[in-house]
Amino acid sequence: MKSRTERRVLITGGAGFIGSNLAARLLQVPSTHVMVYDNLARPGVERNLAWLRSLASPGQLAVVPGDVRDRTLLAEAAVGATEIFHFAAQVAVTSSIDDPLADCHTNILGTLHVLEAARAARIPPLVLFTSTNKVYGSLEKLPTQRIGDRYAFADSAFEGVSEQHPLDFHSPYGCSKGAADQYVHDYARIYGVPTVVFRMSCIAGPRQLGTEDQGWVAHFLYSALEGNPVTIYGDGCQVRDVLHVHDLVDAMEAAVAHRQRTAGEVFNVGGGLAQAVSVREALALIERQTGRPVEARYAEARPGDQRIYISDTARLRTATGWRPTRSLDRTFADIGAFWQSDLASREARAARGEAEPQLAFAQEAQGA
């Protein structure tokens, strides 16, 4: 018989950056069982899975290789879940422009499969969905001004974008995530599924793979450490509020702990004014931390890019008491430390003649 305090958590996209950090936190509690559901397509996830296996007690971790577009497999994985964290997604604006149909199938249909799996349960699990600030569009009507190497709100009293700001989906990615966001929100109203939507700004931290299309902070930092140039789209004065991934996990756990107040709600989540940084300022910070210059090349701004986005997190703070505690310097330092540690581990394995971790999952799939 299951303990009343036992948590059985399904994480779609659980082998990725945010998913693996959340899973690692959950695995610290022996009574929590974690199922990672991931299509394992992204390079580097095999190292995340090896790390999670090293943290888990016997039978505590299950890994199911699967796509959220597979409704039957996903429904089977969701049986018995007390919570579902839905992170699996197509995450790049550029990829959505190249193939909007694939973007739609993953982000909209995949999310509906998650919601239907939750609705089918006798006691529907809490579903936490990670949405995006892109649902607010380019924010063209929000007055801004350029001050040095950054944009700022023209109204100095304006502290950030709240959940009351009008939705304005821009780009196929914005449309698909925005539609999924609204489905998740509405399933709480129509079907009584306890859902929470996090509209996230820039999340960064250890285990972030970081590419030009997604995870720009890590991408810039890794490029500096590896001596590679970076491309800046636009003038580089664009501002984002950066949130350490561990602060994000804190926010997620706070939302679960206060589900009586968070279920059925939408929250903007980010670092806020204190953790806001422009692209140019981020590059300068990276150069100071690494002691290495970053070669920057400039290109035309991308469609729908926001000059400035800073989250107003007052609503989540009021509902849960959460607030970020890790500084911008700490976030950048933790990413750099992860890169150094990961590089040292790979070099040590190579020196011993050992292969890189493989995507073996049969044993874990039987475990939780």
- The set of catalytic residues is 173
Instruction: Write the secondary structure of the chain as one string of H (helix), E (strand) and C (coil).
Output: CCCCCCEEEEEECCCCHHHHHHHHHHCCCCCEEEEEEECCCCCCHHHHHHHHHHHCCCCCEEEEECCCCCHHHHHHHHCCCCEEEECCCCCCHHHHHHCHHHHHHHHHHHHHHHHHHHHCCCCCCEEEEEEEHHHHCCCCCCCEEEECCEEEECCCCCCCECCCCCCCCCCHHHHHHHHHHHHHHHHHHHHCCCEEEEEECEEECCCCCCCCCCCHHHHHHHHHHHCCCEEEECCCCCEEEEEEHHHHHHHHHHHHHCHHHHCCEEEEECCCHHHEEEHHHHHHHHHHHHCCCCCEEEECCCCCCCCEECECCHHHHHHHCCCCCCCHHHHHHHHHHHHHHHHHHHHHHHHCCCCCCCCCCHHHHCCC
What is the rounded CA–CA span in Å between residue 126 and residue 8? 11
Nearest to 17 by CA among 169, 130, 166: 130
